[in-house]
Structure 1
Amino acid sequence: MKCKVSKICGGCSYLNLSMEQQLNKKKEYVQSLIEQNHLKIKIDDIYQAQLDTHYRNKVIVGFAKDKGVIYSGLYAAHSHRVCHSENCLMHPDIVNEIINEITKMMQSMKIELYNERTGTGLLRHVLIRYAHKTDEIMVVFVTSQKMFPSRRNMVNALTSKFPQIKTIVQNINSRKTSIVLQDESIVLYGDGYITDELCGMKISFGYDSFYQIHSDQCEFLYNLAKTKLHLEPNETVLDTYCGTGTIGLTMASSCKKVTGVERNPEAVYFAKKNAKQNKVNNINFVQMDSTQYMKEAQKHHTKYDAIILDPPRQGTTKEFVESACALSPKKILYISCDPKTLMRDLQQFRRCGYLANKVDLVDMFPRTDHIESVVLLTKAKPKTIRK
């Protein structure tokens, strides 16, 4: 598999490895972390992705000029330099087609590119989200100001050529920052969100809502999590870092009640919408930081039979772990996208009396060095003292 910029871009560092080589490297990496952290955990299984290219359902591209000609691409590793990565092998074909069309339109409409050094220019990034099951697409233009010349012409041209585009949003980011998105946005076309199908449910999400990058593997991951938790009809579940509610919604049919906690207000809005449109009545959502919610739950002695956490790459906090364990749930399920922070957090859980004996690995990010981990923790049995 060939890509002219793979060494510069760094987005798919395992591009030229066989699937067996990729999985072995990932498994060896996690095993080395287990040993370094002196944890008694075995790697149970590593689950391969059937779709290993064209799988990314979220894409962010930047733009640059070469001899006056605008080109698009991903940022080179550890830099703010856009490398010309046309028709990326990790993007769905339709997404690449839309990016190419936008790039041509920017040239013909003479849209000025944002300059990080001077703070001048208009267009900073384009974000595209793609719903694999429904074929719905969202396009987000990230601009440095509200004034967006030619936006009506661009919206009309894009939606005419690509009927899959259901919504177009303008996000205004006037700050000198490497963070792509800011809070202010304007819906230029459609409803401001798209809807996919996941685990038999309709899942709607906006431009800033968390949604797993690999849709097919996400379904596998959630079914695996459900199997590992093995919920009973009378059990209550706390789903922290819940995003648009996808994990909790998949669990709801197997238990008495689910409470989802998420600090992103947009994600909570869509979590509630997703519960309603799927007629799931035994779930509710709270907009709050997950660590803060856990500390409040400890303070008020709120009990849950199972706690789920799927935090961002930096993992969870010491306070979260201490408060979660203080509630004495029967089981804790940890889904992690970074094995390094997972091992750190598992050490903290161990100190608080919760142990895991195995980790399952799900290849959520084929052709890269990333791996998703799933761990079930249960309370350690007290050691018996022999007389």
Structure 2
Amino acid sequence: MPKQTAPVKKNETITLTFEDLTHEGNGVGKINGYPLFVPNALPGEEAKIKVVKVNKNYGFGKLLELTKESPERVEPACDVHCNGCGLQHMSYRLQLEMKQNHVKNAMKKIAHLENIPIHPIIGMENPLNYRNKVQIPVGERDGQLITGFYQKRSHRIIENTDTCITHNDVINEVVKAVRDIANRLGIGAYNEEKHRGVLRHIMVRTGQATNEIMVVLVTRTEKLPNKDVLVEELTKAFPNMKSIMQNINDKRTNVILGRKTKLLWGEEYIYDRIGGLTFAISAKSFYQVNPVQTKVLYDKALEYAQIGGNDVVIDAYCGIGTIALFLAQQAKKVYGVEVVPEAISDAKKNAKLNGITNAEFFVGEAEKVMPWWKAQGLKPDVVVVDPPRKGCDEALLKAMTDMQPKRIVYVSCNPSTLARDLRILEDGGYDTQEVQPVDMFPMTGHVECVSQIVKKEAGTD
């Protein structure tokens, strides 16, 4: 049989009509059934493209010139190509439609769940300036400090991109101020090739409800030149500054934060409020970056949990206790488990801060702690999971089904791994009732989901 070849060649220029979008937002067009994926192209558009990569079953192209434009195309609010906000060229309506389709396709193709209700995605009234946290690299050019995000697929800083459309305005102002003050004080930037210099990253966190500001200066060296003057100028410029920290990362690594963090000024925490609860946020805390949609997400998780006053609940990725403390307001008892010791310390602090006494938090891997709890006779009515993008460990899914809770609430930031795990739970005696997508990260391809899962009744398939 003759070897099948692609109908296009690398570096060839062709005209292509686009008919679909990938879940990352790339346009999809076909030549004789052979799909080509092209960034910045929209369904219904026609364009001249250059073929940049050819695989056996699909290829990639680069948009050269639009010959027919979609009515869903909009002028991007930002012309920086850092790849952080890759959906700016499409209307917000189309962004939401694309994400909804991604969830539906994952449920159908991976979970094999075609008949469950997938509710319309909950979007934002204002899909800009929503982020309450940034970690931005620092470099040097012509003897001056520069800040900015890395160019797509590189470690070249796009200079002074300090007005990102997804950050709240205060964050943009603080990053610029730190850079300008440090530059004036002669605090040199870190050079990753030579592993020299001082300032590696600037992290800024804000509390939406409190307007409090935290700055974390990530440095290679423990010594930070002119730190007292830097602190004085920052606190004078920003009356809401509550915390200035230094994190020392002396390793040759792409990991942003090092192990040691010390207080330069103020407190070690800033505070924020969600739905009547107050949370202390430290430099290393995991805290959702979109506070408006976090409230939407947690309200839905609480609704799906259907907690009664006698219910015992396990939160298997509890972080600093955000979801667990919401649940504790209605439950008899909540047990939280998290592998990061600092997060558990914060969770205990947050429980105390809110006067919540029916929540206990433990350090450990949920898949190991839960079987131990089961052996001790703990029988949860509800289990809540909010895992990282890779989804739940298979051992954790087994630990959950072994404990036989009446309901499971699965909060996910990755529809593909959510669908994979739902299939396992379905095969383990549970039914997926409904899925609610939430747009936590407008202008990006990411989508969050909350799923309600219930134990099958005896005798049902």
TMscore range, shorter length:
over 0.9
Quote the offset at 1:338 in angstroms: 1.1
Alignment-derived partner of residue 113 in structure 2? 39
Secondary structure at the counterpart of residue 47 of structure 1 = coil
Confirm or deny that 1:158 pairs with 2:234.
yes
| Residues 94-114 of structure 1: per-residue CA shift (max 9 Å, x gap) | 111111111112221121111
Secondary structure at the counterpart of residue 344 of structure 2 = helix
Which residue of 275, 284, 305 maps to 1:208?
284
Confirm or deny that 1:79 pairs with 2:162.
no
What is the distance in 2 between the residues matched to 1:188 and 1:240?
34
Quote the offset at 1:43 in angstroms: 1.3
Quote the offset at 1:351 in angstroms: 2.3
Which residue of 251, 254, 277 maps to 2:327?
251
2:139 partner letter: A
| Residues 203-249 of structure 1: per-residue CA shift (max 9 Å, x gap) | 11101111111001111111111111111111110011111111111
1:128 partner letter: V
What is the distance in 2 between the residues matched to 1:337 and 1:208?
20
Secondary structure at the counterpart of residue 347 of structure 2 = helix
Secondary structure at the counterpart of residue 357 of structure 1 = strand
What is the distance in 2 between the residues matched to 1:193 and 1:77?
33
Alignment-derived partner of residue 142 in structure 2? 67
**Could you state the TM-score of these two structures normalised by the residue count of structure 1?**
0.95
Is the 8 Å Cα contact of residues 201 and 278 (structure 1) preserved in structure 2? Answer: yes
Which residue of 390, 398, 406 maps to 1:322?
398
Is the 8 Å Cα contact of residues 301 and 327 (structure 1) preserved in structure 2? Answer: no
Alignment-derived partner of residue 33 in structure 2? none
Please list every run of 5 or more consecutive structure 1 residues that lacks an aligned counterpart in the other structure.
Answer: none
Secondary structure at the counterpart of residue 203 of structure 1 = strand
Residues 78 and 294 (structure 1), Cα distance of their counterparts in 2 relative to 1, 3 Å cut: farther
Confirm or deny that 1:373 pairs with 2:446.
no
Is the 8 Å Cα contact of residues 139 and 190 (structure 2) preserved in structure 1? Answer: no
What is the distance in 2 between the residues matched to 1:75 and 1:340?
27
How many percent identity over aligned positions?
36
Secondary structure at the counterpart of residue 103 of structure 2 = helix
Which residue of 60, 67, 84 maps to 1:11?
84
What is the distance in 2 between the residues matched to 1:119 and 1:70?
16
Residues 18 and 300 (structure 1), Cα distance of their counterparts in 2 relative to 1, 3 Å cut: same
Alignment-derived partner of residue 131 in structure 1? 207
2:156 partner letter: R
Which residue of 27, 51, 58 maps to 2:126?
51
Quote the offset at 1:355 in angstroms: 2.3
1:236 partner letter: V
Alignment-derived partner of residue 362 in structure 1? 438
Is the 8 Å Cα contact of residues 240 and 261 (structure 1) preserved in structure 2? Answer: yes
Confirm or deny that 1:180 pairs with 2:260.
no
1:278 partner letter: N
Alignment-derived partner of residue 22 in structure 1? 95
Secondary structure at the counterpart of residue 410 of structure 2 = strand
Confirm or deny that 1:170 pairs with 2:243.
no
Is the 8 Å Cα contact of residues 100 and 120 (structure 2) preserved in structure 1? Answer: no
What is the distance in 2 between the residues matched to 1:326 and 1:301?
12
Secondary structure at the counterpart of residue 44 of structure 1 = coil
Is the 8 Å Cα contact of residues 14 and 369 (structure 1) preserved in structure 2? Answer: yes
> Which has the greater radius of gyration?
2
Map of 1:194-273 to 2, 5 A cutoff?
Answer: 194-273=270-349
Please list every run of 5 or more consecutive structure 2 residues that lacks an aligned counterpart in the other structure.
Answer: 1-75
Confirm or deny that 1:144 pairs with 2:220.
yes
Residues 39 and 116 (structure 1), Cα distance of their counterparts in 2 relative to 1, 3 Å cut: same
Is the 8 Å Cα contact of residues 433 and 454 (structure 2) preserved in structure 1? Answer: no
Alignment-derived partner of residue 22 in structure 2? none
| Aligned length, in residue pairs | 383
Map of 1:287-302 to 2, 5 A cutoff?
Answer: 287-302=363-378
Confirm or deny that 1:338 pairs with 2:411.
no
The RMSD of aligned alpha carbons is 1.5
Secondary structure at the counterpart of residue 221 of structure 1 = helix
2:78 partner letter: C
1:114 partner letter: Y
301-310 or 376-385, larger mean C-alpha shift: 376-385
What is the distance in 2 between the residues matched to 1:42 and 1:118?
55
What is the distance in 2 between the residues matched to 1:233 and 1:383?
29
Alignment-derived partner of residue 38 in structure 2? none
Secondary structure at the counterpart of residue 254 of structure 1 = coil
What is the distance in 1 between the residues matched to 2:300 and 2:119?
13
Which residue of 253, 265, 276 maps to 1:189?
265
Quote the offset at 1:62 in angstroms: 0.6
1:180 partner letter: I
Alignment-derived partner of residue 353 in structure 2? 277
What is the distance in 1 between the residues matched to 2:327 and 2:338?
17
Residues 248 and 381 (structure 1), Cα distance of their counterparts in 2 relative to 1, 3 Å cut: same
Quote the offset at 1:306 in angstroms: 0.2
109-118 or 195-204, larger mean C-alpha shift: 109-118
Secondary structure at the counterpart of residue 95 of structure 1 = helix
